[in-house]
Structure 1
């Protein structure tokens, strides 16, 4: 990758971290014969989103969108939306909702069914994973807005010195890690996030999916302690014990990224934005970062990455006129042209597949030429109305397995029992 290219992309991705300082309250139902709708989202995507909202308002004369910007805190945003929707509040028409909460909100009947409100062709050109995650019981209850997924980043200089290609299995990466120790400053083979947190859930499900397992089957029945899952978790524990830094079970993104930027690790599993931040000034691996799909386990066939991101949803409490106006707005935000502009401004990974092939996008963010195939493997975390409790159960039990407080099989048996209780 050319130095000029990655510096340009890094600048763009850094711009995406800037936040807006404009806070606006929703106005009356109509202003100058326009239907006025309010759009609430978190400050983390504020600046780029406000620009898209302004462009939409200028593009037509029937709908006026006013923004309500919340703090960049997932729990605060979640609780604010729950309080409003559960009480029948109509002060917010459209929300930027974390993908992990779509099942919870959709199952509660709080989200409008978009099937008859938006053109079905909108989702035909989107990545499969985000669309599946926005669909509950066959109904599209959310419009994929932007997404994200993890990537296996690795040291290209180390592989070049070893004359090796990037493996596609965990066994292959462990064999390579054994050879890489001591090469170009490498002290550890593996780097990821294993603190008891949501990050651990995202990591663990990828081992499970890549080994042919799952957490809930197609009927929503827990299968957490399957043989595939036990084997997958044993692989993760082997990496913790034999290949990762000693403190890995306390690492979130920040700690794991720092170790990799110091040049001490062969590879790191991290979110796509690390391609840029990993090459910040002061990083010892600048210009030496490659990207590939997550490895597959011995009982698996396909690689799968864990999806993040936000969807656009419509408050089911508002009247038909506001739903139609909201649908027009979210259709604009989900269009290929708007997705392209949003990506250029913020570098948030788009949900429209064609944007990853756009010449302007690839010139600005050449990493996306590799990332397109990686994010196409994306899957959503377990879709359940009780996701917060499911996540908590996974965090506690898998963390105990990785720290050695419990045997892997015992930890997953306990997890299975807890999930069965939650699904009764």
Structure 2
């Protein structure tokens, strides 16, 4: 009798354990894995947010970030290679603003309208709204904002220059007084940064680079030529070092950080670097919008990143949930506090705690109001490459700037015609 009771008890315990294991397995099988491909810096920055999301959605969604390369072009190449092969190993992609037309036209992006209201989009900062739609549908949700800025030395002047001529004249005077070796450092290397610089300058002179909606190309027009001449003459006249023709963001920042120049064109991230103990200009720097011939022409190249859902994912709803979390005001605040990223929510630019950490937020808000997107075309990579090659040849003295712009316009026309016309 005792043996029978013991056997019965063991069977009951075994049944309970098996039931519990079965339920655990069933719950685990119901957990949806959502993977997002991000450039390495964003993958590292979002780790605490990913951990928080997984705690809040335990048993339902498991979010993981696929850590991609550091460089923008490299992450795009990786994403495109995966998409061309079909069934990419991720559900969402953190995208540079210039990728949207190409990816959307290829059919790689899902419209987000069923998960996000248009009214929500319109509540975002005005400057982050361009570049997220394709054929009237939102296909990318802004994650962090970025824009071109003019950094200036508060220990060398009371107020920043507002026009190209003022920047040159102030630089010459400071150099003559031996206050700085150089007036202005920027990004002149043959890469995307040079296109960003030129976009701001051509708008500053009242022109346009390329308008896909009308097919207008402004490179060989008066403002386009003036912009190229101004940049070239900065080097010829010694306002900028000859080495600036091979400068990217890092080299510009290093020169300015060492106190070698009065002005620098760079992105918001540079502010935190300039406040570090090893900076020769710590506490001596402010930011403003880029110089222009008139205030209405002042422009800041939009450099934002945003999240998109990829076509082919089997977990679109869960991916949208993850995107909503990562782009929420709370998440933006966390990223602004921990890494100095510029938020996309208008309200956060007036957040008292954020202002304590990042006192240039009001200036960033103003710059966002001057933000302009690069030409929104699937052919952007090709036309940008043409501009970079020809303009850099002027900066290095290989060809006259007018000739370079004429050749760039001809190349741009050829790229567009080869693709079947306006695009």
Secondary structure of 1:301's counterpart equals helix
| Counterpart Cα distance in 2 of 1:357 and 1:421 | 47
* C-alpha spacing 1:213/1:340, structure 2 compared with 1 (3 Å): same
Alignment of structure 1 residues 91-106 onto 2, 5 Å:
91-106=89-104
- Of 151, 154, 159, 2:152 maps to 154
Query: After alignment, is 181-190 or 283-292 more displaced?
Result: 181-190
Among residues 284, 305, 310, which one is paired with 1:310 in the alignment?
305
CA distance 1:339–1:279, change in 2 (3 Å)? closer
> Structure 1 CA distance, aligned partners of 2:250 and 2:66?
29
Per-residue deviation, 1:358? 0.9
| Contact 2:100 2:132 survives alignment (8 Å) | yes
Hey, what's the Cα distance between the residues in 2 that align with 1:87 and 1:70? 17
What is the CA–CA distance in structure 1 between the aligned matches of 2:291 and 2:284, rounded to whole Å? 20
Q: What is the RMSD computed on CA atoms of the aligned residues?
A: 2.2
2:242 aligns to what? 246
Q: Decide which of 106, 121, 128 is 2:126's aligned counterpart.
A: 128
Q: Single out whichever of 369-378 and 407-416 deviates more from structure 2.
A: 369-378
Match of 2:340 in 1: 347
CA deviation profile, 1:111-146 (whole Å, cap 9, x unmatched):
001122222233122123332111122221111111
Q: Is the 8 A contact 2:128 2:368 kept in 1?
A: no
Q: What is the CA-CA distance between 1:220 and the residue it aligns to?
A: 4.2
Per the TM alignment, residue 335 of structure 1 is displaced from its structure 2 partner at its CA by: 1.8
Give the Cα–Cα distance (whole angstroms) in 2 for the partners of residues 402 and 60 of structure 1: 53
1:52 corresponding residue in structure 2: 49
Out of 361, 383, 390, the position equivalent to 1:390 is 383
Partners of 1:79 and 1:285 in 2: CA distance:
37
Q: For residues 29 and 266 of structure 1, do their structure 2 counterparts lie closer, same or farther at Cα, with a shift above 3 Å needed?
A: farther
In structure 2, the residue matched to 1:337 is 330
Partner of 1:9: none
Kept after mapping to 2: 8 A contact 1:112/1:141: yes
Distance 2:177 2:355 in 1: 32
Match of 1:25 in 2: none
Gaps of 5+ in 1: 1-27
Q: Answer whether contact 2:156 2:262 (CA < 8 A) is retained.
A: yes
| TM-score relative to the length of structure 1 | 0.86
Shift of 1:363: 1.3
Name the structure 1 match of 2:272: 276
Distance (Å, rounded) in 1 between the aligned partners of 2:344 and 2:303: 11
| Change over 3 Å in CA distance of 1:224–1:139 after alignment to 2 | farther
CA distance in 2 between partners of 1:256 and 1:332 (Å): 35
Alpha-carbon deviation of 1:280? 2.8
Counterpart of 2:371 (choices 378, 382, 392) is 378
Partners of 2:162 and 2:27 in 1: CA distance: 56
Q: Is the alpha carbon distance of 1:384 and 1:335 closer, same or farther for their aligned partners in structure 2, counting shifts above 3 Å? A: same
Measure the CA separation in 1 of the matches of 2:398 and 2:296.
Answer: 31
Out of 251, 261, 267, the residue aligned to residue 265 of structure 1 is 261
Q: Take 2:260 and 2:184, find their aligned partners in 1: how far apart are those partners? A: 10
The alpha-carbon distance between structure 1 residues 171 and 29, as it changes in their structure 2 partners (threshold 3 A), is: farther
Aligned equivalent of 1:66: 64
Q: Alignment partner for residue 41 of structure 1, among 22, 38, 41? A: 38
**Deviations, residues 44-100 of structure 1 (Å, cap 9, x unaligned):** 112321211222222345432122222323333212211222233153111112222
- Count of residues in Structure 1 that have an aligned counterpart in Structure 2: 390
275-284 or 43-52, larger mean C-alpha shift: 275-284
Q: Distance in 2 between matches of 1:30 and 1:202?
A: 49
The change in CA–CA distance for 1:76 and 1:402 in structure 2 (over 3 A counts) is closer
Q: Counterpart in 2 of 1:367?
A: 360
Tell me the alpha carbon deviations over residues 332-378 of structure 1, each in whole angstroms, 9 at most, x when there is no partner.
22221221112112211111121111111111111223222113311
Contact conserved, 1:147 with 1:310, CA < 8 A, in 2? yes
- 2:409 is aligned to 416
Larger-Rg structure: 2
Residues 49-58 or 286-295, more deviating: 49-58
Normalising by the residue count of structure 2, what TM-score does the alignment of the two structures yield?
Answer: 0.86
1:211 to 182, 205, 212: 205
Partner of 1:202: 196
Which of 220, 224, 230 matches 1:225?
220
Task: Name the residue aligned to 2:421.
Answer: none
What is the alpha-carbon distance in structure 2 between the residues aligned to residue 117 and residue 359 of structure 1? 31
The alignment partner of 1:118 has SS state of coil
Deviation, 1:275, is: 1.5
